[in-house]
Amino acid sequence: MKKSVKLVGLDCPNCARSLENEISKLNSVKNVHIDFVKNRLYFESDDTMAALDEIIKLTKRLEPQAQISEINSAERKNKLNLILDITFLAVGIAIGFVIFFVSMPKWCYWTLYVLSALLLGYKTYLKAIRLLFKGIINENLLITISVVGASIISQHMEGLMVIALYSIGKIFEGLAVNRSRKSIEKLASLQPEYANLILNNGEVEKVQPSSVKIGDMILVKAGEKVPLDGKVVEGETFLDLKSLTGESLPVKAKEGDEILSGSVVVDGVITIEVTSVYENSAVSKIMNLVENAAENKSKTETFVSKITKWYTLAIIVLALSVWGIVWAVTKDLNSAFYRGLIFLVVSCPCAFAISVPLSYFSGLGNASKNGVLIKGSNFLDACAGLKTIAFDKTGTLTTGQFEIDKITSFGDKKEDELLFVAALGEQYSLHPLAQAITKSCIVKLPKLKSVKEIAGEGVEFVYKKKNYFVGRKNDNLTATCVEIYENDEKIGEISLSDKIKPSAKDTCKGLNDLGVKTVLLSGDNTEIAQDVAKQVGINEALGKLLPQDKYEYLKKCKDEKIKIGYVGDGINDAPALTLADVGISMGINGAPASIEASDVVLVDDDPQKIISLIKISKFTKLNVIENISLAAIIKLTFLSLGAAGVTGMLAAVFADVGVTLLAILNSMRVLKYKPNKKQNIKNKK
């Protein structure tokens, strides 16, 4: 049975991965996964309670500060832990000042010194010892060795400075991680708790959203979340879409408008006819995506997490080598030992271990705030390198809702008569063109006794003893057009057009400004595809493409090492979405198959969100490079200076904790980054 529990108190991605590995070794569990972003632990077990008991015991032993419990209780414990950490830190620092600036007996000095060191870093020391017994070596052991070593060679102030600044860094690290988490966890607030179902007798009953069926009527009051996708049948209101799409201003919704679950009714009361069951609603799709987002990590993030263990072990070996070399050269044991400790402190991998995943967490969180859901940091990383983005047309750059542009008569029938005849035959079809024609006819349509559908062409029927055909016989027409024949004679045409989304033109211009080539891959004829491309500013347009043709185009680009993204919304787009370096689907009208196959989902179907996606991905990748470069350059500099005896322990502490804090603060810039502002971040040619 699959189970998930709240896990709080883990502010280090490496600690989470180590704990996940240890829990996976338990015989009572399988498929263990710790979602560091959402503070959740997932596992499967035949005996859930017994397995959970083992997990709790193991977690307490390895990560005492971590808590597994119900959500509210866990959050309270997490806040209490933070208060205790800050209190112990403040008291430890205060005691440190006293012993260094107040004269006292030696026994009192040592007592207070040990007390100060314990208050400042008891968690670090205990964690280092516990993990060492498990065969795990990480930065906790490096810091512990440094503090003990500094005490042995009477560098007491520097020893306390190491652990004090390290602990301050861990507190800041935890606050930064939690801030990034909250931006993603806000999506959980979209999940509705209930639906006000209108019963047949007119009464209203609170029910679970999952129990509501298509066609049911629900009532949503001011301040309540819309629990399911639907159409407004009574009332009007303004909807708050900030959490759903990132739209800052309320959007008006009136009778006939379709609205999404997760929207919040600002004022008034509306009645909604449900058009989608909960499993297929916008909120459910979003929650499923968020559930899986943390599992797909970027190559950079994966590489950093994999090398951390071996990196720490290598640093200990190198520190011993530095100690040995300096001792051999200077014959001064204390000096050699001191320089070896400096090497340990400077080399602590904290800056790499936290700043890289934190940058990606912040990027994912920023994207979610802007209505873009990314299924993992690897896809966020991939977006930064896209050179070309290919678009499907219908439902992606266009609304997918056709409208009649012109009705042309070739005989004595008037326009309304031609529309009536066309609607007679099209009333039985689900094709978008047929539905547009039927919807435009305001006259009540009689039912026909015999209607014959001709695959790929149209329909034949008899009305008032005359034979009619409505469909397409002429492939040379340059517009989206439906022909009408009476007794094999063409009597009229109805030209329709698919409305281009208002933001499509700005989307293509924005992508071109970022150095990204745009391509239209359409199943419509080439003339229509080129006309749409011209209107929205797409660089290249190809028409008359079957799904396999789109697939082959993408395959050709990939064979030529061109990083390409594909944007689509239909079932037929699934193969292309899967093959593309980054598949981007529509979150509202997108088919479940396309959403499943894609790597990125635009919550509100607005293609302009792709510009935000590209900008955030580029800024995030740049931020990761900055953090790695900053940490590497400073650490290498101070490693050389420390080994040569030019700098001391305090400089080493800055090179470790100071750089970690700088990297954390730099990572938080990703969360604050505003992609809608004008930026000059282009693909490198």
Q: What average pLDDT is seen over the chain?
A: 81
Which residue, among 66, 60, 12, 72, has the nearest Cα to 36 in the 3D structure?
A: 12
| Spatial contact of 345 and 653, defined as CB atoms under 8 Å apart | yes
Residue 435 lies in a domain: yes
pLDDT the model gives residue 650: 72
How do residues 174-183 score in pLDDT, each as one tens digit?
Answer: 776 666 566 5
Domain final residue pick, 250, 281, 312 = 281
Residue 579 lies in a domain: no
Domain final residue pick, 456, 479, 500 = 500
Which pLDDT band holds residue 111 (cuts at 50, 70, 90)? very high
Catalytic residue among 11, 216, 240, 392: 392
Sign of CA dihedral 11, 12, 15, 21: positive
* Domain range enclosing 203: 190-281
The token pair at 126 is 């205990």
Residue 627 lies in a domain: no
174 vs 82, 134, 656, CA distance in Å? 9, 24, 17
Residue 658 lies in a domain: no
What is the phi-psi region of residue 246: left when phi exceeds 0, alpha when psi lies from -120 to 50, beta otherwise? left
Residue 423 sits in a domain whose CATH number is 3.40.1110.10
Secondary structure (DSSP) of 437-482: HHHH--SPPPPPS-EEEETTTEEEEEETTEEEEEE---TT-SSEEE
Residue 392 falls in the annotated catalytic set: yes
How do residues 390-409 score in pLDDT, each as one tens digit?
Answer: 998 887 888 877 888 889 99
pLDDT the model gives residue 479: 58
Which pLDDT band holds residue 232 (cuts at 50, 70, 90)? very high
Length of the chain: 685
Q: Which of 66-80, 413-427, 569-583 has the lowest mean pLDDT?
A: 66-80
Of all residues in the chain, the percent with pLDDT exceeding 90 is 18
pLDDT the model gives residue 680: 46
Q: How many Cβ atoms are within 10 Å of 332's Cβ, its own excluded?
A: 13
Specify the pTM. Answer: 0.68
| Spatial contact of 649 and 341, defined as CB atoms under 8 Å apart | yes
Which pLDDT band holds residue 242 (cuts at 50, 70, 90)? low
Residue 480 lies in a domain: yes
pLDDT the model gives residue 682: 45
pLDDT the model gives residue 158: 76
Distance CA 638, CA 641 (A): 5
pLDDT the model gives residue 420: 92
| Spatial contact of 112 and 102, defined as CB atoms under 8 Å apart | no
Residue 82 lies in a domain: no
**pLDDT score of 37 more than 60:** no
Domain count, the chain: 2
Residue 275 sits in a domain whose CATH number is 2.70.150.10
pLDDT the model gives residue 299: 56
Domain final residue pick, 248, 263, 281 = 281
How do residues 444-496 score in pLDDT, each as one tens digit?
Answer: 888 887 788 876 678 889 888 889 999 887 766 655 788 999 998 999 999 88
Which pLDDT band holds residue 2 (cuts at 50, 70, 90)? low
Residue 29 lies in a domain: no
Which pLDDT band holds residue 219 (cuts at 50, 70, 90)? very high
Residue 409 lies in a domain: yes
